[in-house]
Chain A
Amino acid sequence: MIRRGRVEISSGFFLMTALLLYLDTENLLLLAGLACAIHECGHCAAVRLVGGRISRLRLTAVGGELQLDWRRPLTKTRELFCILAGPFMNLLTAWLLARKGAGETGQLLGGISVCLGVFNLLPIWPLDGGRVLQLLLEHLLPERWALHLVRGVSVLISGILLFFGLLQIFYTGGNLTLCVLAAWLFIGIQKRGEKTRRSHTQKIFLNGG
Chain B
Amino acid sequence: MRTEYRTANTSARARHSSHRGPPRTKKGEPALAPREKRRLLQLMVCLILFFTVFFGRGIFPEQGEVATQTLRRVLRTNTDFKAAFLQVGRALSDGEPVLDTLGNMWVTVFAPGSAGNGIETSSDYKTSRLYAEEKEFLSSQPSTQTVLARRFNLPLSSDSENTAPAPEETAQVPATTEPAAAVATLSPDPQPVYTGPALPANATMEKLPLGLSKTTAPVMAVISSPYGYRVHPIDGEYKFHAGVDLAADYGTDIVAFADGTVDYIGESSEYGKYLQLRHADGVTSFYAHCSKLCVQQGQTVSLGEKVAEVGDTGYATGPHLHFELKLNGERLNPAYYITTLSS
Contact = CB atoms under 8 A, between A and B. Distances in A.
B296 interface: no
Contacts of A176: 74-75
A169 B92 contact: no
Interface string B100-120: 001001000111111010000
Interface in A64-109: 94-95, 97-98, 101-102, 104, 106-109
Given A111-B88, A174-B74, A176-B75, A101 B111 contact: no
A177 B79 contact: yes
A114 B92 contact: yes
Contacts of A169: 70, 74
B98 interface: yes
B93 interface: yes
A107 B70 contact: no
Contact of B110 (A101, A104, A174): A174
B82 to A, nearest CB: 4
Interface residues of A, number: 32
A102 B89 CA distance: 10
Contacts of A142: none
B57 interface: no
Given A110-B93, A169-B74, A118 B111 contact: no
Contacts of B113: 168, 172-174
B85 interface: yes
B86 interface: yes
Contacts of B85: 28, 108, 111-112, 115
B interface majority secondary structure: helix
A98 B109 contact: no
Given A104-B86, A108-B86, A98 B92 contact: yes
B106 to A, nearest CB: 9
A17 interface: no
B74 to A, nearest CB: 5
Contacts of B89: 94, 97-98, 106-112, 114
Nearest to B82: A26
Contact of B112 (A28, A165, A175): A175
Interface in B205-253: none
A22 interface: no
Contacts of B88: 110-111, 114-115
A168 B102 contact: no
A174 B95 CA distance: 29
Contacts of B84: 111
Contacts of B111: 168, 172, 174, 178
Nearest to A110: B89
Contact of A111 (B70, B86, B95, B116): B86
The 9 closest A-B pairs by CB, nearest first: A173-B113, A107-B89, A111-B88, A111-B89, A111-B85, A98-B92, A110-B89, A26-B82, A172-B114
30 contacts: A26-B80, A26-B81, A26-B82, A28-B81, A28-B82, A94-B89, A97-B93, A98-B89, A101-B93, A102-B93, A107-B90, A107-B93, A110-B88, A111-B85, A111-B86, A111-B105, A114-B98, A118-B102, A165-B110, A168-B110, A168-B113, A173-B113, A173-B116, A174-B110, A174-B111, A174-B112, A176-B75, A177-B79, A177-B109, A178-B111
Given A114-B92, A173-B113, 11 more contacts: A102-B93, A110-B88, A110-B89, A111-B86, A112-B89, A114-B88, A114-B98, A115-B85, A169-B70, A172-B114, A174-B114
Interface of A: 25-26, 28, 94-95, 97-98, 101-102, 104, 106-112, 114-115, 118, 164-165, 168-170, 172-178
Interface of B: 70, 73-75, 77-82, 84-90, 92-93, 95, 98, 102, 105, 109-114, 116
